[in-house]
Amino acid sequence: MARIKVFDTTLRDGEQSPGVNLNQLEKIEIAKQLERFGVDRMEAGFPASSQSEFESVKAIAKTIQNASVTGLARAKKSDIDCAWEALQYAKEPRLHIFLATSPIHMQHKLQMSPEKVIETACDMVAYAKEKFQQIEFSAEDASRSDLAFLAEITEKVIDAGATVINLPDTVGYTTPAEYGALFRYMKENVPNIHQVSLSAHCHDDLGMAVANTIAAIENGATQIEGTINGIGERAGNASLEEIAVALTIRNNVYPYHTNLVLNEIKRTSDLVSKLTGMVVPANKAVIGKNAFAHESGIHQDGMLKNASTYEIITPEMVGIHESDLVLGKHSGKHAFSNHVQSLGYTLSEEKLTEAFQAFKSLTDCKKEITDEDLFTLLTDVQTVS
């Protein structure tokens, strides 16, 4: 099974989520948890963006022992120097340089000709190589770039010293078939591509970040980038926990694995949510409050007979204690009876039917029935003879 390297960017692209601002202690706490989670590479921040960001990256570089610590830099000497100042203390320092390659970005944002973009990218990778052994070059907005141009700049930055080539879907525009084809094209058209790792970095503007990342893996990506809980610019980045679980659950079809410790998912997700203040939506795949909750009677009955009827992931796999059979208006008698027993009540068949009817009436006015509601209801049923 091919090993996929995981590049976590929760502390950089994730922190770019509007309204999120992590202080140094919070960043270190998350970095340590990412290390426990087993990420191979973590992007600690963008050192040149502010003094406090610089200090945070430096502190993370000094702390983390079991992952390569990375910092982001524009294709500018001052950014690269600043990143080195912060990252030189890391066990395995890594630089992430980015420069846009799409016509839209080159013309409107950079106001540079394609030739100048190639020259700048190569000069800055060569400059960085004097300090860093590991250099990732990101062709920003790769998915909207001209393929021949992308192949040309890639070949040249590899010659200049890049060790990883990242092809970001910066604006979450692409689809799985297109993104997969992009990786295939690069493998077939860049003569020195075998010297580097190819990386996928997807945004979720059209809700396809995870699917696009998996398509990239199928077509030659050996590194994936993403964030915990999928936080990030606009609609966010690919959720690392979703990709890791998808590869594990579907490894009959996708023979790839990561080194992530899946039962650390819940703890990592909770920590990131608490410190960023970004609440995980209840229906979020893998980690949302409802991901292991079942309300309808038919589903609850199936679950009580065999959990694999309605769960493809076990809660334990991702560090969640157990599934939840929620009592609500769709619940059936089987789940109700089970719950009543778990609260310590043993009812005759007649009393159980009576209690179930009372419960159903209660669901007409309450969405979710709590244990407190049940205690009241069961006491009433038991005291009426």
| DSSP one-letter string for 132-187 | -SEEEEEEETGGGS-HHHHHHHHHHHHHHT-SEEEEEETTS---HHHHHHHHHHHH
3 state DSSP class of 311:
coil
Residue 53 lies near Zn ion (rule: CB under 5 A) = no
Q: Is position 301 an interface residue for Zn ion (rule: CB under 5 A)?
A: no
Cβ nearer to Zn ion, comparing 13 with 26: 13
Nearest C-alpha neighbor of 227 from the set 182, 273, 193: 273
Minimum distance of ligand KIV from residue 143's CB (angstroms): 9
- Interacting span for Zn ion (CB under 5 A) from 12-20, 42-50, 74-82, 184-192: 12-20
Identity of the residue numbered 10:
T
Nearest approach, Cβ of residue 308 and Zn ion (Å): 36
Least distance (Å) from ligand KIV to the CB of residue 47?
14
Calpha distance 171→162 (Å, rounded): 24
- E strand or H helix at 225: strand 223-226
Report the distance separating Cα 382 and Cα 343, nearest Å.
14
Contacting residue, 5, 12, 13, 139, with Zn ion by CB under 5 A: 13
- Which of 79, 140, 204, 264 binds ligand KIV (CB under 6 A)? It is 140
Residue closer to ligand KIV, measured from CB, 169 or 295: 169
Least CB distance from residue 156 to ligand KIV, whole Å? 18
> Rule CB under 6 A: is residue 294 a binding residue for ligand KIV?
no
Distance CA 76, CA 85 (A): 14
Region from 143-151, 153-161, 162-170, 207-215 binding ligand KIV, contact rule CB under 6 A: 162-170
**What separation in angstroms does the CA of 26 have from each of 32, 274, 341?**
10, 10, 43
Considering only 201, 284, 294, 339, the residue that binds ligand KIV (CB under 6 A) is 201
C-beta closer to Zn ion: residue 205 or 324: 205
Number of residues that bind ligand KIV (CB under 6 A): 9
Question: Identity (one letter) of the amino acid at 379?
Answer: T
Closest to ligand KIV by CB, 183 or 359: 183
6-35 residues in contact with ligand KIV (CB under 6 A) are 13
State how far the Cα of 224 lies from the Cα of 199, in Å rounded to an integer. 5
213 contacts ligand KIV (rule: CB under 6 A)? no
How far apart (Å, rounded) are the C-alpha atoms in residues 369 and 359?
Answer: 8
Of the candidates 134, 138, 154, 268, which one interacts with ligand KIV according to CB under 6 A?
138
Q: Please tell me whether residue 168 binds ligand KIV under the rule CB under 6 A.
A: yes
* 89, two tokens: 């203390």
Cα-flanking dihedrals φ and ψ of residue 265, to 5°? -60, -50
- 338 contacts: CB under 8 Å, gap ≥ 6: 304, 325
Choice between 94 and 201, CB closer to ligand KIV: 201
> 203 a known binding residue?
yes
Q: Measured from the CB atom, is 13 or 53 closer to ligand KIV?
A: 13
Which of the choices Zn ion, ligand KIV, none does residue 138 contact, using the CB cut-off of 5 to 8 A by kind?
ligand KIV
| Alpha-carbon dihedral sign for residues 352, 353, 357, 360 | positive
The response to whether 321 counts as a known ligand-binding position is no
13 known ligand binder: yes
Q: Which of 171, 167, 269 is nearest to 220 (CA)?
A: 167
Cβ(237)–Cβ(203) below 8 Å: yes
Instruction: State which residue, 134 or 138, has the beta carbon closest to ligand KIV.
Output: 138
DSSP secondary structure code for residue 262 in this structure: G
Binding site for Mn(2+): which residues?
13, 201, 203, 237
Residues that bind Zn ion (CB under 5 A): 13
Site residues for ligand KIV per CB under 6 A: 13, 98, 138, 140, 166, 168, 170, 201, 203
